[in-house]
Amino acid sequence: MDLKEMHPDTLLAQAGGAIDLASGGVVPPIQPSTTFVRDADYAPLNPANTYARDHNDAVRQAEAVLTQLEGGDAALLFPSGMAAIAALFRTVPTGGRVIVQSGIYWGTTKWIREFCERRQVVMDEVDASDAAALMAACATGAAHLVWIETPSNPWLKIVDIAVAKKAARSCGALLAVDSTAASPILTNPLKLGADVVMHSTTKVINGHSDVLGGVLVARDPGAVWDEIANDRASAGAVMGPFEAWLLLRGMRTLPLRVERMCENAMKVARFLEDHPAVEAVWYPGLESHPGHELAKRQMPQGFGFLMSFLVKGDRDTALKVAGRLGLFHRATSLGGVESLVEHRHTIEPHTGIPETLLRISVGTEKADDLIADLGQALGQ
């Protein structure tokens, strides 16, 4: 069956291809070789492989799956999500201009700010969930790249991708979307008009908190894409075969994990919303969320597994709630099968994040157990 015809669930269950012909195995083999032989006439035995810095088979397999999942034409895997983001921004010429959503993943904001300063690139930060504000930022002049993140982390803002595309087009910019918190199961930004979609595959795509990675997937890859691919090979920023193999393994259960995590998250959000010790909950699945209607259209199969809530009280109250949690691990990151809690203010105190905010990533545990844990931590 042709990859293009397969439902994502089917594609993913057999991610990496059905059968290894050499062994008969039903999972792909790992080929860790860094170098590859030539025959007596000095032609490479396999023309795709000469030296492992350029590329490797496991990465090609994982890229083919991700390309298909997002409905793109090409994908490039990197050793981390940040490496993927940096690879895209490095194509912006010195003296160029980028428009970046405010209040997004702090690691992204920090890297882009530093990069733009080094390279004299003008960086405009704007709340892209406010369509008029984004349009206005684009109307002030030409730009190379518009960068959005939806749902955003940790504010859970929802950005209308189709509207962002219109805004980007109006200033001649490419639209790139960090879709890590949505996953390719819930949103496919390329199908909504985006030019490039990025994921930290460290998160839900791998889903087991045991491999770092990042990916860019593009539609109609043009000159910018060739530049990224060439630079990745020349500069040696390819993912290794073991990591790519683990990623393929993790992806085989992606639809199941996302389905369960979304169900759990919805139950947890409703519990928190009703809890007297909780001041506010930000989860796009709640009717009270300002982006709920948009999320219903843009994430029709579920609202994700990430949410933030404010504990009534002060910084100390919030830290004590986090400290009393038994099932939720106190750790950064998101999208794994195990639930995590984070006090973001401890990590990024300068970004205006409330001191009473706890961000949780809901895993695949039994929802009742997660709710019981939150209940005892909040005090019932």
Ligand X SMILES: *Cc1c(COP(=O)(O)O)cnc(C)c1O
Q: Which positions are catalytic?
A: 53, 105, 178, 203
d(CA 163, CA 146): 12
By CB under 6 A, name the one of 144, 165, 203, 289 that touches ligand X. Answer: 203
For ligand X, the binding residue among 178, 195, 342, 373 (CB under 6 A) is: 178
- Which residue lies nearer to ligand X by CB, 203 or 289? 203
78 versus 328: smaller Cβ distance to ligand X = 78
Q: Least distance to ligand X from the beta carbon of 344, Å? A: 12
Cα–Cα distances in Å, from 305 out to 20, 117, 126, 186, 297? 34, 34, 25, 11, 17
DSSP notation for 110-177: HHHHHHHHHTT-EEEEE-TTSHHHHHHHHHTS--SEEEEESS-TTT-----HHHHHHHHHHTTPEEEE
Binding-site string for ligand X from residue 126 to residue 165, where x marks contact by CB under 6 A and - marks none: -----------------------x---x------------
**Helix axes 241-251 and 57-70, enclosed angle (nearest 10):** 40
The answer to the question of residue 209 lying near ligand X (CB under 6 A) is: no
Cβ distance to ligand X smaller for residue 214 or 363 = 214
Q: Does 187 bind ligand X (CB under 6 A)?
A: no
Nearer to ligand X, 82 or 229 (CB): 82
Rounded Cα–Cα distance for residues 24 and 30 (Å):
14
Cβ 82 to ligand X, closest distance in Å?
4
Position 344 contacts ligand X (CB under 6 A) = no
Q: Which is nearer to ligand X, 61 or 209 (CB)?
A: 209
Q: Is 80 a residue that touches ligand X (CB under 6 A)?
A: yes
**Minimal distance in Å, beta carbon 160 to ligand X?**
18
Q: 244-283 mask for ligand X (x: CB under 6 A)?
A: ----------------------------------------
DSSP-derived 3-state class of residue 277: coil
- Only one of the segments 14-22, 173-181, 312-320, 367-375 lies at the binding site for ligand X (rule: CB under 6 A); that segment is 173-181
Applying CB under 6 A, does 61 fall inside the site for ligand X? no
Residue placing its CB nearer to ligand X in the complex, 197 or 325: 197
**Residue type for 167, please?**
A
Among 102, 129, 180, 206, binds ligand X (CB under 6 A): 180
Q: Does 82 bind ligand X (CB under 6 A)?
A: yes
Distance between CA 81 and CA 218 in Å, rounded?
A: 15
Q: Is 107 in the site for ligand X (CB under 6 A)?
A: yes
| Count of residues engaged in binding ligand X, rule: CB under 6 A | 17
SS3 state at 38: strand
Residue whose C-alpha is closest to residue 362's, from 273, 288, 267: 267
Report the residue from 49, 67, 108, 129 that binds ligand X according to the rule CB under 6 A. Answer: 108
DSSP for 158-212, please give it: ---HHHHHHHHHHTTPEEEEE-TTTHHHH--GGGGT-SEEEEETTTTTT-SS---
User: Cβ-count burial of 378 within 10 angstroms (0-12 exposed, 13-18 middle, 19+ buried)?
Assistant: buried
Q: Is 81 in the site for ligand X (CB under 6 A)?
A: yes
Name the packing angle between helices 367-378 and 315-324 (round to 10°): 140
Separation between Cα atoms, residue 238 and residue 232, nearest integer Å: 6
Number of neighbours of residue 1 by Cβ within 10 angstroms: 9
- Are the C-beta atoms of 8 and 184 separated by less than 8 Å? yes
Given the rule CB under 6 A, which residues bind ligand X? 80-82, 105, 107-108, 149, 153, 178, 180-181, 200, 202-203, 212, 214, 334
